Amino acid sequence: MAAKTHIISFKTFSFQYRAQKKPTLQDINLDIYPGERVLIAGPSGSGKSTLAACINGLNPFSNPGECTGTLMVDGVDAPHSSIFDLAGHVGTVLQDPDGQFIGLTVGEDIAFSLENNCTPQPEMKAIVQHAAELVGIENHLGFAPHELSGGQKQRVSLAGVMVDDVKILLFDEPLANLDPATGKQAIELIDTIQQKTDTTVLIIEHRLEDVLWRNVDRIVLVNEGRILADMRPDDLLSGSLLAENGIREPLYLTAMRYAGIAVTPEKHPAHIDSVVLDKADTARLHSWFQAEPLPAPKPAPEPLLEVRNLCFGYNKGQHTLQNVSFSIGKGEMVSIVGRNGAGKSTLSKLICGFETQDSGEIYLNGKDLKDENIRRRAKHIGFFKIHRLEDGVLSVLLLDGKSRLLDFSFPFQGSVFGFLLFLFGGIVGEEIELDSTVAFLWCVRFRQDVICHNIHTPHQQILVHDPVEEF
């Protein structure tokens, strides 16, 4: 019987970005075979996105750096090839679909690669139609990409790489900007596409429970630039490696452990529908659940922020927010949740004054903010948004205490969570490197101008936009 031939093969492979002091990937040995679906998991900053960028050629051709060892992708020597050559073998869907859009309409965007290859018009239209039908976006070919929802944008990005008839589909954190329901739909779509095309699928992600909505063959665990495990899902989920490396296991497994149930491969823990529980296990779960007391109600705090009948729409006749009312008390920590497009980000923009409501009122400590501009609101409301562009590079958008909206990127080693702790004055239990002195000074300035100023200003509020998006 002939040995299986790998389609991706790393042999003692390492990669170091030109701007970094040490390798992001170290001594990687990994073989992936045709038709497999492999999940590459790891905490933020572990090197998993760098691994993906080496497979599709972004490293080192777009992001300069030094490679050692060997990496073969579908018979191509990847470090000594080019992005153009590798694009014919690997189709990549990034975590931010907006960064991949080229065309003014969905149809134009899907056809972009075909146009570059001078494909005849009749053949091009047929291929675009087929790819659109494959991902279920055929009724939106005339739409502008920015008019689509997050899930629809993912479908367009996938169709754009499907037209090249690639053998490998690489998804770099495809769930990062999607709510759980839309994330499950994205995983179902990936499953359907693979069954129809028999491609090899690599998913780079840390939202383990959502990815495992459909089967994967293996989970490769990465941390600190090294491969720690390459195991079947049932085997990895039965151990402690995930928790030890900052990856949240599926919540149903956490509940089982709290109830005193031993999680073993024989229980098939990879899927909630397939978990094997005997009568004793079920009794333990019921006993644990019923033993948990309900928290005692707390007295209502004094109102700090009040929103009353708030309405807003970006386009006339379309309401993103309609009759929204709520109250947040002093000292409360509140999370605003909702599906993609529900209006969470829009609400934060209205509170900060980036947008003006169509109707309704916003009160801060009993004062109507209607006539307060961004500058005056910034004395009481801080705004902070963070985004990881790639491993080792963070992008930060913040409104500082002097009413300046700052947007900058800089090299950073460590987790996004560690960076948040650094900014907000917490104790960071990990090494933090800020390779850019300017970036470091901005961070210190932000702590002084916003955080420290806010703490000593009565009735202060800090809005942190999607803080766990990159975790």
Interatomic CA distance for residues 154 and 182, integer angstroms: 10
What is the model's pLDDT at position 176? 75
Confidence label for 345 from pLDDT (cuts 50, 70 and 90): confident
| CA-CA-CA-CA dihedral for 451, 457, 461, 466, to nearest 10 | 0
Confidence label for 397 from pLDDT (cuts 50, 70 and 90): low
Cα 254 to the chain's mean position, in Å?
Answer: 22
- Residues with Cβ < 8 Å from 361, sequence gap 6 or more? 306, 307, 308, 309, 310, 368, 370
Task: Give the mean model confidence (pLDDT) for residues 197-221.
Answer: 92
Task: Give the mean model confidence (pLDDT) for residues 138-156.
Answer: 84
Torsion sign, CA atoms 138, 143, 147, 153: positive
pLDDT at 431 over 60: no
Interatomic CA distance for residues 219 and 217, integer angstroms: 7
Token output for 459: 């009735």
The DSSP element (H or E) to which 297 belongs, if any, is: none
In 3D, which of 154, 179, 102, 132 has the Cα closest to residue 338? 179
Across 118-132, 212-226, 410-424, which has the greatest mean pLDDT?
Answer: 212-226
| CA-CA-CA-CA dihedral for 335, 340, 343, 346, to nearest 10 | 90
In 3D, which of 318, 319, 333, 464 has the Cα closest to residue 387? 464
pTM of the model: 0.72
Mean pLDDT lowest among 91-100, 254-263, 386-395: 386-395
Query: DSSP states of 202-259 as a string?
Result: EEE-S-HHHHTTS--SEEEEEETTEEEEEE-HHHHHHSSHHHHTT-PPPHHHHHHHHT
In 3D, which of 268, 446, 463 has the Cα closest to residue 362? 463
Q: Considering only CA atoms, give the Rg of the chain.
A: 24
Token output for 238: 């039965």
Interatomic CA distance for residues 111 and 115, integer angstroms: 6
In 3D, which of 268, 274, 279 has the Cα closest to residue 238? 268
Task: Give the mean model confidence (pLDDT) for residues 200-208.
Answer: 92
Query: DSSP states of 328-367 as a string?
Result: EETT--------TTSSHHHHHHHHHTSS--SEEEEEETTE
- Residues with Cβ < 8 Å from 29, sequence gap 6 or more? 10, 11, 12, 13, 227
Contacts 24+ apart (CB under 8 A), 388-391: 388/44, 388/45, 388/416, 388/470, 390/49, 390/50, 390/53, 390/63, 391/24, 391/45, 391/46, 391/47, 391/48, 391/49, 391/50
pLDDT exceeding 90 applies to what percent of the chain? 40
Tokens 């807003």, residue located: 312
pLDDT at 1 over 50: no
What is the model's pLDDT at position 291? 86
Helix residue spans in 306-448 (DSSP H)? 344-352, 374-377, 416-423, 437-446
